A and B are shown apart, each in its own frame.
Chain A
Amino acid sequence: MKARLSLLLGSLGAALVAFALAAPRVVAADKVDPAADAKAFQNFFFQKFPNVKHEDFVNGPYSMNEDMKRQWQEKEEFPPYEFALDAGKEMFATPFKNGKTYADCFPNGGIGIRQNYPYFDTKEGKVVTLELALNRCREANGEAPYSYVKDEMASLTAYMAFTSRGKPMDIKIPDDPRALAAFENGKRYFYTRRGQMNFSCASCHVQSPGERIRAEILAPALGILNAMPIYRSEWSGMGTTSRRFVTCNSQTRAVPLEPQSDEYRDVEYFLSYVANGLPISGPGARP
Chain B
Amino acid sequence: MPKNNRYFRIMIDPKLLRGSLDTIILKLLDEHGEMYGYEITQKVKEITAGEIKLTEGALYPALHRLEGKGILTTEMRSIGNRMRKYYRLTESGQEEVVQKLSAMDEFIKSIQLILNPKIA
> Do A and B originate from a single complex?
no
Interface residues of B (CB under 8 A from A): none
